[in-house]
């Protein structure tokens, strides 16, 4: 069986019955981060019901030069459950962007097809009555806007619209990816903690190669595989492997310059010590001092009893877990230049990427 | 042969004093080599049983430490020495235990690593350095054996002490937990059972053991020398004291000016009132050697007295500038009795105390009285081998009179009924009469209950058919008791 990146890329139908699997798949793509999509399952079900119970995930190549706007949440997703969204942030950001660029969006794409943002792109597209393109700028959860595939290819990441829950809107244009990341981060930090955002538009055709195509469909595939088989079998089936199964003995959370750093130690049942370095996502795993897996592959920590993925900020000492690694987005793995944007060094971890073998 | 040191021994070494164990224990770990790397990212070279010192401090929490531990284990490293003594992350401690590496922390890993290198690979230098320091101590250290031993302990940074021929510690302190196997000793001087200089050096670092062995040899010479010097000085002083006292005891009316001058130099105050004390011991006891014990007993009992070796014992006296008041005499007598009881616990001594006398002639007289009293005390276990002349002036006279050939048989027949009776009635009766008919005092002297004394006394009176209320009968009986006891 081949890995999930060989799954059919587009024109997959997302139905109301897929919500659970889709959500779990998005969480796995979150690799411990990306925000928890579970609280928004009901709004996804409502959105799907409103459009007849199914929604098509469109292949970007099929839409020609139609202007596609990417959208998603930015900031502290844990704040989202305390500071509830009005529900209009993403829609308003798409509209703000259209006013500035003078081009109305013909289709919507998620800027990150993982965690919360993968789900919100579907509801936003449904709400706006626009097609949803199954392509995104990350292919998994990543923390920074300068880690967009667009930034890696040298494409523009502006204009960029931000709408905070109170309705305050910020529009940024003519920024480099790094500058944009700094500005967005300050706006969110000084503002409400999180914000809805939109950028583009991009010609649909360009996304087939300039972005990670088919990630939402893969989320669905991952979720279904997760539901069908036990986690160990499922990791193997998806081209991944189990790194350790045992108890979490230590979580040291250290404030760092960027995001909070966490050092996690898990003692495998066989006695081996698995150390995971994490920020918003699980980034690097060392087994008995040897690096065995790293981003951009997907490091996932699952509850051993329920197989549910556990996010970095929800993992607790004493948790009985299964640590698996799944192949990361092929787009990033394609060339060393791309990999440089998402390897451990891009997170300040002085270590080469350790990736699963290509299942080509 | 490759030299090996035990990690636990290194940790106990003074130069490793600042090193703490951060992960896994050091027991049974042997180190054969030391290597130093710059930081946590460095690659250790392959060397079995090596100690890896990391020079520059890095982030303790960083995963590079784990990676280093793994590389180090693969290279045969058995211990990693990190800068700083802050605790490790749990993950790193677990890993250290798993790959079998002891992690140590020190504020100054380079110096510590250097010390380990020297102990491992440069035993000659360690030895030379210790010998140099020892020689310096032996030359420079002032004072007696105690000071030399203390200086050696400081120089070697190990416990050092001196044992006499019987194995008693006479200088320095033996650590209570010293393992016999780790104690190095060296005889001081020759002879059948010479004193021995000892040092506790844990096994495990051959270089240090060899160095201390050699240094002990050097130090033993100096210690022996100081011991001989001390002994000489003590004997010289004793001889001076003895001859001076002998001159003062001459029956000549007044000592000549030379003798007075020597007495002054010795700190003896000849004028004033003196109370002599005489302590007799068996001939097997050497007065010069045991004098410190007498001084200690006097000191504990708070008697200020000059003590001079005299024959088989000591003569001692206390001098008062003014004539002492009765209360002061009483206090002195009590203190003397206490000194005797202290001495008696380690020596078969008998003590006599003379009356207060004035001037040089008085000193000779009171010492003479004390001598008589001491001879009397030798047989008087009931008074704790202690006799005070002040309390026995008349008794002495009477006792002298009772030593006649006619009195003794009469006394014996008088006390005949008490013979072979249970309860040692004769001794009880004597003690009772000595104690002024006090049941309580008699019980205390004999170490029995006062009811026992009462019962015995009733029986004795019944057997003898005497009435102790009658002063004549009492006196006769008391004399008889004393003379019979004295002569049996």
Interface test with A, best of B61, B63, B89 (most A CBs within 10 A): B63
- A146–chain B nearest CA distance, Å: 25
For the cut 70, the answer to whether the pLDDT of residue B93 exceeds it is yes
Q: What average pLDDT score do residues A209-216 get?
A: 93
Q: What average pLDDT score do residues B251-258 get?
A: 75
Q: Which of 3.30.300.30, 3.30.160.270, 3.40.50.1220, 3.40.1610.10 would CATH assign to domain A4-217?
A: 3.40.1610.10
For the cut 90, the answer to whether the pLDDT of residue B30 exceeds it is no
Q: Is there a contact between B64 and A290 if contact means CB atoms under 8 Å apart?
A: no
DSSP-derived secondary structure letter, A7? S
- B62–chain A nearest CA distance, Å: 8
Interface test with A, best of B66, B70, B77 (most A CBs within 10 A): B66
Q: Mind listing the pLDDT tens digit for each residue in A162-187? A: 999 888 999 999 999 999 999 999 99
Of the partner residues A252, A290, A291, the one whose CB lies closest to the CB of residue B61: A252
Chain A contact for B375 (CB, 8 A cutoff): no
For the cut 90, the answer to whether the pLDDT of residue A8 exceeds it is no
Alpha carbons within 13 A on the beta-carbon side of B227: 21
Q: Beta partners for A267?
A: A247, A273
SS3 B362: helix
Residues in chain B within 8 Å Cβ distance of A287: none
**For chain A, where are the alpha helices, taking DSSP H only?**
19-30, 41-50, 77-80, 89-101, 115-128, 149-153, 177-190, 204-210, 215-228, 231-237, 330-333, 336-340
Q: Report the percent of chain B where pLDDT is more than 90.
A: 12
For the cut 50, the answer to whether the pLDDT of residue B243 exceeds it is yes
What per-residue confidence (pLDDT) applies to B237?
86
Q: Mind listing the pLDDT tens digit for each residue in A53-64? A: 899 999 998 899
Residues in chain B within 8 Å Cβ distance of A288: 70, 95, 98-99
Q: Mind listing the pLDDT tens digit for each residue in A241-287? A: 999 999 999 998 887 666 788 899 999 999 999 999 999 999 999 99
- The domains of chain B, with CATH numbers, are 5-121 (3.40.1390.20), 123-230 (3.30.450.40), 256-391 (3.30.70), 397-487 (1.10.10.2840)
Q: At CB < 8 Å, which residues of chain A contact B?
A: 249-250, 252, 254, 263-265, 267, 271-273, 275, 277, 284, 286, 288-291, 349-351
Q: Beta partners for B350?
A: B280
SS3 B181: helix
Residues in chain A within 8 Å Cβ distance of B61: 252, 254, 263
Q: What is the ipTM of this complex?
A: 0.84
Q: Is there a contact between A288 and B98 if contact means CB atoms under 8 Å apart?
A: yes
Interface test with A, best of B90, B98, B100, B101 (most A CBs within 10 A): B90
| Phi-psi sector, A200: left (phi>0), alpha (psi -120 to 50), beta | left
Find the residue in A nearest to B59 (Cα): A254
List C-alpha distances in Å: A1 to A21, A236, A357, A360: 20, 9, 15, 11
Q: What average pLDDT score do residues A128-151 get?
A: 93
> How confident is the prediction for chain B on average, in pLDDT?
85
Measured on CA atoms in the order B258, B261, B267, B273, is the torsion positive or negative?
positive
**For B249-325, where are the alpha helices, taking DSSP H only?**
257-265, 287-300
Q: Which residues contact A166 (CB under 8 A, 6 or more apart)?
A: A192
Residues in chain B within 8 Å Cβ distance of A263: 61, 63, 89, 91
Q: Where are the domains of chain A?
A: 4-217, 231-347
User: Does a cis peptide bond (omega within 30 degrees of 0) precede residue A145?
Assistant: no
- B52–chain A nearest CA distance, Å: 17
Interface test with A, best of B69, B91, B93, B99 (most A CBs within 10 A): B91
Q: Which two tokens stand for residue B381?
A: 């276990």
For the cut 70, the answer to whether the pLDDT of residue B94 exceeds it is yes
Q: Which residues contact A181 (CB under 8 A, 6 or more apart)?
A: A144, A145, A146
For the cut 90, the answer to whether the pLDDT of residue B394 exceeds it is no
Residues in chain B within 8 Å Cβ distance of A350: 41, 64
What per-residue confidence (pLDDT) applies to A3?
43
CB count within 10 Å of CB A336 equals 9
- A288–chain B nearest CA distance, Å: 6
- Residue B400 — pLDDT band, cuts 50, 70, 90? low
**Which H helix or E strand runs over A251?**
strand A241-254
Of the partner residues A277, A288, A349, the one whose CB lies closest to the CB of residue B95: A288
Q: Is there a contact between A252 and B70 if contact means CB atoms under 8 Å apart?
A: no
Find the residue in A nearest to B100 (Cα): A288
Q: Is there a contact between A289 and B41 if contact means CB atoms under 8 Å apart?
A: no
Chain A contact for B64 (CB, 8 A cutoff): yes
Burial of B193 per CB tally in 10 Å (0-12, 13-18, 19+): exposed
Calculate the dihedral angle through the C-alpha atoms of B439, B444, B447, B451, rounding to the nearest 10 degrees: 30
Rg, C-alpha atoms of chain B:
36
Helices B425-434 + B439-446 axis angle, to 10: 120
Interface test with B, best of A265, A271, A285, A289 (most B CBs within 10 A): A289
Find the residue in A nearest to B41 (Cα): A350
Chain A contact for B61 (CB, 8 A cutoff): yes
- A273–chain B nearest CA distance, Å: 6
Of the partner residues B67, B70, B89, the one whose CB lies closest to the CB of residue A252: B89
Task: Please tell me the distance from the alpha carbon of residue B134 to that of residue B145, in angstroms, as a whole number.
Answer: 14
Q: Is there a contact between A263 and B64 if contact means CB atoms under 8 Å apart?
A: no
What per-residue confidence (pLDDT) applies to B436?
87
Task: Please tell me the distance from the alpha carbon of residue B166 to that of residue A350, in angstroms, as a whole number.
Answer: 68
- Residue A323 — pLDDT band, cuts 50, 70, 90? very high
List C-alpha distances in Å: B453 to A251, B441, B446, B470: 81, 10, 9, 20
Q: Mind listing the pLDDT tens digit for each residue in B352-373? A: 898 888 888 888 888 888 888 8
Q: Which two tokens stand for residue A201?
A: 């538009």
What CATH architecture is A231-347?
Beta Barrel (2.40)
- A297–chain B nearest CA distance, Å: 19
Calculate the dihedral angle through the C-alpha atoms of B104, B110, B115, B117, rounding to the nearest 10 degrees: 90
Q: Is there a contact between A271 and B66 if contact means CB atoms under 8 Å apart?
A: no
A78-82, B20-24, B328-332, B450-454: the lowest-pLDDT one: A78-82
- B91–chain A nearest CA distance, Å: 5
Q: What average pLDDT score do residues B26-48 get?
A: 87
Q: What angle do CA A346, A349, A354 make, to 5 degrees?
A: 85
Of the partner residues B41, B67, B91, the one whose CB lies closest to the CB of residue A273: B91
Of the partner residues B41, B64, B98, the one whose CB lies closest to the CB of residue A273: B98
- Tokens 């000592």 belong to which residue? B255
Chain A contact for B23 (CB, 8 A cutoff): no
- Pairing label, strands B183-188, B169-172: unpaired
Residues in chain A within 8 Å Cβ distance of B98: 271-273, 288
Q: Mind listing the pLDDT tens digit for each residue in B209-232? A: 889 989 988 888 888 888 888 888
Tell me the residues of chain B between 66 and 125 that have a Cβ less than 8 Å away from chain A. Answer: 66-71, 73, 89-91, 94-95, 98-99
For the cut 50, the answer to whether the pLDDT of residue B146 exceeds it is yes
What per-residue confidence (pLDDT) applies to B202?
81
A302-311, B334-343, B406-415: the lowest-pLDDT one: B406-415
Q: Is there a contact between A265 and B91 if contact means CB atoms under 8 Å apart?
A: yes
Of the partner residues A267, A271, A289, the one whose CB lies closest to the CB of residue B66: A289
Residues in chain A within 8 Å Cβ distance of B95: 273, 275, 288-289
Q: Is there a contact between A277 and B61 if contact means CB atoms under 8 Å apart?
A: no
């Amino acid at each position: 069986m081949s890995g999930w990146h060989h799954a059919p890329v587009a024109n997959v139908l997302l139905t109301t019955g897929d919500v659970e699997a889709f959500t779990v798949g998005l969480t796995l793509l979150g690799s411990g981060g990306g925000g928890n999509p579970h609280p928004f399952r009901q709004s996804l079900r409502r959105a799907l019901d409103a459009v007849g119970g199914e929604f098509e995930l469109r292949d970007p190549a099929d839409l020609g030069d139609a202007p596609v706007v990417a959208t998603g949440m930015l900031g502290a997703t844990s704040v989202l459950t305390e500071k509830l969204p009005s529900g209009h942030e993403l829609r308003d950001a798409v509209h703000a962007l259209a006013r500035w660029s003078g081009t109305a969006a013909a289709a919507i794409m998620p800027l990150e097809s993982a965690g919360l943002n993968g789900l919100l792109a579907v509801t936003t597209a449904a709400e706006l009555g626009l097609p949803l393109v199954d392509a995104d700028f990350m292919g998994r959860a990543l923390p920074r806007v300068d880690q967009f595939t667009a930034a890696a290819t040298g494409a523009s990441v502006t204009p960029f619209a931000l709408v905070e829950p109170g309705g305050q809107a910020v529009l940024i244009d003519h920024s480099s990816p790094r500058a944009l990341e700094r500005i967005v981060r300050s706006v969110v930090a000084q503002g409400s903690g999180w914000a809805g955002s939109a950028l583009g538009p991009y010609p649909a055709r360009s996304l087939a190669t300039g972005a990670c195509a088919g990630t939402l469909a893969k989320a669905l595939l991952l979720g279904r595989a997760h539901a069908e088989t036990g986690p160990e079998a499922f990791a193997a089936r998806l081209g991944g492997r189990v790194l350790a199964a045992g108890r979490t003995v230590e979580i040291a959370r250290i404030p760092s310059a960027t995001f909070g750093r966490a050092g996690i130690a898990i003692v495998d049942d066989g006695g081996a010590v698995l150390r995971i370095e994490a920020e918003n996502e699980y980034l690097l795993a060392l087994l008995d001092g040897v690096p065995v897996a790293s981003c951009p592959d997907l490091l996932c920590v699952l509850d051993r009893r329920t197989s549910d993925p556990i996010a970095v900020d929800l993992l607790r000492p004493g948790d009985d877990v299964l640590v698996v690694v799944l192949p990361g987005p092929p787009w990033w793995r394609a060339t060393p230049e791309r990999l440089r944007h998402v390897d451990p060094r891009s997170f300040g971890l002085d270590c080469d990427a350790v990736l699963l073998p290509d299942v080509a | 042969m490759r030299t090996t040191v035990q990690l636990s021994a290194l940790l106990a070494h003074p130069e490793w004093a600042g090193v703490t164990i951060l992960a896994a224990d050091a027991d049974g770990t042997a180190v054969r080599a030391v290597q130093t790397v710059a930081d946590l990212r460095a690659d250790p070279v392959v060397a079995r049983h090596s100690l890896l010192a990391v020079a520059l401090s890095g982030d303790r929490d960083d995963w590079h430490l784990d990676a280093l531990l793994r590389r180090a284990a693969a290279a045969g490293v058995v211990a990693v020495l990190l800068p700083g003594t802050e605790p490790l992350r749990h993950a790193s401690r677990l890993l250290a235990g798993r790959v079998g590496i002891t992690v140590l922390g020190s504020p100054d890993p380079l110096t510590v690593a250097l010390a380990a290198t020297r102990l491992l690979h440069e035993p000659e230098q360690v030895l030379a350095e210790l010998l140099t320091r020892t020689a310096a101590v032996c030359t420079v250290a002032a004072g007696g054996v105690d000071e030399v031993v203390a200086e050696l302990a400081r120089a070697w940074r190990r416990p050092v002490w001196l044992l006499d021929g019987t194995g008693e510690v006479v200088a320095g302190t033996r650590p209570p937990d010293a393992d016999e196997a780790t104690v190095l000793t060296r005889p001081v001087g020759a002879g059948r059972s010479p004193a021995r200089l000892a040092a506790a050096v844990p096994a495990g670092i051959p270089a240090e053991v060899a160095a201390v062995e050699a240094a002990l040899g050097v130090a033993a010479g100096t210690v022996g020398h100081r011991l001989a010097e001390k002994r000489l000085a003590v004997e010289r002083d004793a001889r001076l004291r003895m001859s001076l006292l002998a001159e003062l005891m001459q029956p000549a009316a007044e000592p000549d000016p030379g003798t007075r001058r020597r007495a002054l130099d010795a700190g003896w105050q000849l004028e004033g009132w003196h109370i002599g004390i005489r302590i007799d011991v068996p001939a097997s006891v050497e007065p010069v050697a045991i004098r410190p014990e007498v001084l200690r007993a006097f000191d504990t009992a708070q008697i200020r007295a000059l003590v001079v070796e005299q024959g088989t014992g000591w003569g001692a006296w206390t001098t008062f500038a003014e004539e002492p008041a009765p209360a002061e005499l009483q206090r002195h007598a009590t203190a003397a009795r206490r000194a005797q009881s202290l001495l008696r616990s380690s020596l078969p001594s008998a003590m006599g105390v003379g009356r207060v006398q004035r001037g040089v002639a008085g000193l000779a007289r009171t010492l003479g009285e004390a001598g008589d009293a001491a001879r009397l005390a030798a047989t008087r276990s009931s008074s704790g081998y202690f006799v005070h002349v002040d309390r026995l002036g008349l008794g002495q006279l009477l006792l002298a009179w009772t030593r006649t050939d006619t009195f003794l048989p009469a006394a014996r027949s008088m006390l005949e009924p008490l013979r072979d009776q249970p309860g040692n009635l004769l001794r009880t009766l004597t003690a009772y009469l000595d104690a002024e008919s006090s049941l309580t005092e008699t019980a205390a002297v004999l170490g029995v209950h006062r009811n026992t004394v009462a019962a015995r006394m009733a029986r004795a009176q019944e057997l003898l058919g005497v009435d102790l209320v009658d002063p004549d009968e009492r006196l006769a009986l008391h004399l008889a008791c004393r003379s019979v006891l004295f002569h049996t």
